[in-house]
Amino acid sequence: MKIAYINYFYDENLNENEYLSKYQSIHGWCKGLSDLGIEIDVFQRFFKNIIFKKDNVTYFLINDKKKHRLKKYQIPHLFNKNIVKGNYDIIHVNSFIYIFQAYFLKKMNPLLKIIIQHHAEKPTKGIKKYFLKYFSSSIDGFIFASAGISNFWIKTNSIDKLKKFTEIMEGSTNFCYRNRYEARKTTGLSGNPIFLWVGRLNENKDPITVLKGFLLLLKDFSNATLYMIFSENKLEHELLSFINKNKLLKHSVRLLGLINHNLISNYYNSADYFVLGSYYEGSGYSLCECMACGVVPIVTDIPSFRTITNNGFIGGLWDCGDVQSFYNISKKVINRTLENESKKALNFYSKNLSYSAIALKAKSFYENILKN
C-alpha cells in the first residue's frame, strides 16, 4: 500500500529546521504506518522546495508560489500535480477546510481514493453547507476522533451518511510514564492529591467552573492542589479575581502560565489527576498526553472525551458547566485506588491512543477504502 499524507496549510514563520518539531503528530502518524511496512510520503505546502527522509517517511515540502493560507477557492495546481503523479493508493488530506482543494485533486484523477481527516472543524451553515456537501460527495472516506462528532456532521446533513467513516484520534504523543517522586523533584509540585490543568483559559475550556468545583473539593481534601498550565490567557484576570476572593483557593491553586511543551511531561508525571471543563474539542491532545503519563482524567462528558476515556471507564466524566457534577464525579474518582486508575489510563492509552495503535486503525481503514 502506498499513501500520500497531505497538508495544504503551513506556518509562514516556520523554517525547515523546525518543521518536524512543530508537526510532531504528522511524523508520529506516518512513522507508525511506516513501521507497519506501508510506504508513505508527506506532501506539505511550504515557502521553499525541500525533500528529506526520516524513519522511512519521505517529506516533500513544495513551494507553489502561493501564500501559506490558501483562500477557500484557490487551487494549488503545482502542489496537486506533484501528488497525482505519485500513483498513490490513498490520498489522506488533513482538514475539512481544504475540501475544495481535495475535490479538485480528485477531478485530476477520478480513480484516486481520497479521505479527509477532521481536525476540530464545525459544520458550516447556509450556502456554505451546500458547497461542503457538494464537494465532500467526491470524497471516499472520513476520519473523526469520535463517532459522536461524525454523527453530528451526518445529522446536520453536512456529509453523506452512506460514505465510509472511522474513529481515530488525530494524533498522539511521545510522552511516557515516569517516576512521580523524581518528576516532582524537578517541577516542585506538591499536594495530596495533585490536580493539573493543561489548556487555554477561555470560555470553551471553562476554567471558572473547574475552580468552583475544586473549591468544593477542598472541603473534603484540604491538602489538594491545582496547577494550571496555559497559553491563551483570555480569562486569567477573571480567574485571579475569583482566586483572590477565596482563601482556600489562594493557598491551593497555582497559575503556572506557559510552559515549554518539551517540559510539560514533567508536570504530567508530577500530577495525580487531570481536569478540563471543555464544551467542545475536536479530539483532546492534552487529555491524551495525561493518559500517556498515567494521570487519571476528570473531564467533561463530550464526544471526543468519551472516546478517549472509554466512555468514562478511565477516570470520570462530568456535565459541562455543572459545578456540582464536577465535585461529585471528582470525589468518586478520588475515592478509588489511584494506582489502579493510573494503570487503566496507561493500558488504554497504549492499546488505543498511542501512535502504534493509531497506525493499526488507520491501516485497517485504508484497506477498507480500497475494497470498493
Do 318 and 364 reside in the same domain of the chain? Answer: no
d(CA 338, CA 149): 31
The parent domain of residue 316 ranges over: 180-353
Helix H or strand E segment including 332: helix 323-334
Other C-beta atoms closer than 10 Å to the C-beta of 110 total 7
**CA 234 centroid distance within chain:** 21
Q: What is the pLDDT along the chain (372 residues), one digit of tens a residue?
A: 999 999 999 998 888 889 998 899 999 999 999 999 999 999 999 999 999 999 999 999 999 999 999 988 899 999 999 999 999 999 999 999 999 999 999 999 999 999 999 999 999 999 989 999 999 999 999 999 999 999 999 999 999 999 999 999 999 999 999 999 999 999 999 999 999 999 999 999 999 999 999 999 999 999 999 999 999 889 999 999 999 999 999 999 999 999 999 899 999 999 999 999 999 999 999 999 999 999 999 999 999 999 999 999 999 999 999 999 999 999 999 999 999 999 999 999 999 999 999 999 999 999 999 997
Do 91 and 237 reside in the same domain of the chain? Answer: no
Q: What is the CATH number of the domain that holds 159?
A: 3.40.50.2000
Do 234 and 152 reside in the same domain of the chain? Answer: no
Do 254 and 115 reside in the same domain of the chain? Answer: no
Do 155 and 15 reside in the same domain of the chain? Answer: yes
β-bridge partners, 225: 194
Do 339 and 228 reside in the same domain of the chain? Answer: yes
Do 14 and 86 reside in the same domain of the chain? Answer: yes
d(CA 193, CA 221): 8
If 0-12 CB within 10 Å is exposed, 13-18 middle and 19+ buried, where does residue 147 land? middle
Do 238 and 277 reside in the same domain of the chain? Answer: yes
Contact between residue 88 and residue 2 where contact means Cβ atoms under 8 Å apart: yes
Contact between residue 99 and residue 72 where contact means Cβ atoms under 8 Å apart: no
Do 283 and 341 reside in the same domain of the chain? Answer: yes
Contact between residue 228 and residue 206 where contact means Cβ atoms under 8 Å apart: no
Do 291 and 344 reside in the same domain of the chain? Answer: yes
Do 347 and 359 reside in the same domain of the chain? Answer: no
Give pTM, 2 decimals. Answer: 0.93
Prior bond to 193 cis, omega within 30?
yes
Structural domain count of the chain:
2
Do 198 and 311 reside in the same domain of the chain? Answer: yes
